[in-house]
Structure 1
Amino acid sequence: MTEHEQSTAAWSPRMSDAEANAEARRIIDDVYRPVRQMPTHFTDATPAPSFGDAEPVRQDDRRIVPAWAAGIAVASIGIGAGVTGIGCGAWLVLKGLSSMTITGVLALCAPFVGLAVAALAIGAAVSKAKSGSSKHVYQGPVTKHTHVSTHTRGTFSRTRNTFHG
């Protein structure tokens, strides 16, 4: 038996054409069978009263979103609104600062400059107060012996100084 005859024998049909068509029809019907859908509305069949308010009708609570996801959604909306408010405030402040004249900038900075000058003056006064004046009084003779030896050597005059004290 040749290789082609072996492969043909291995793939020979095991169903008749009628059986294959019936199986194909069953698979297609399974795939395209309509899915049972849940109602998305509630119709109240009780008659409405001729006057006054209608009695409440119980409606089952079937939430699609879990409670924790709804909480995260509400929190993210709140955070987004807060950040938007901060951004709008910053925009207003920066827009106001950008439209100021040099006189307005100087008027805005004057209190800060005054505080800086006052802090500098206080710091200088404290520094002067800490460094008290003292008169050094030495008792006894003070002698200072300094002896320097210099050695110059080499072609490019390397000089080495040694201090003896």
Structure 2
Amino acid sequence: MHPDTTAQPTAPHAALSEDQADAEARRLIATAYRDDTPLPAHGATPPVAQPGRPPMSQGATDASALTLSGAAAVSMTGLTASVLMYASQTANPAVCAIVFGAPTAFVLALARLTKRAKPAPDVHQHYSGPVYQDQRIVHTTTRGVWAKTNNHP
């Protein structure tokens, strides 16, 4: 038995006549709802803390990185000097110069840095109209000798 090739399409929009389509359109318009209340200029929702480092100006970011680097250098130098003094069981003048000189150099560098530091400017962002927030999670895979990256939403 052969299938019937003269059958009409069964899609809803293809089977409706013009009068039926107009009636369906009027029914959809009558049941639609649109909220026309005005949106507030500024919302009452408090800001939410974001993960990671807080936003800073470029100068504050540079100063923070410099301070962290200086602190790591001072800690390593002081620890090394302490181990050397303990291991040698004597107070060598060179070792004492390292132990007491490193924090002094750090304090001097920090004082010079604070002289050049400027306060971060206040940034206020106001929006008029609807705001769209795109919150996608992208899964990335990179494989092969010649890297091929596939991003999958």
Q: Shared fold (TM-score greater than 0.5)?
A: no
- Point out the structure with max Rg over C-alpha: 1
Indicate the TM-score class for this superposition, using the shorter chain for normalisation. under 0.3
Say which structure, 1 or 2, has more relative contact order (CA 8 Å, 6+ apart).
Answer: 2
Superposition TM-score, scaled by structure 1 size: 0.22
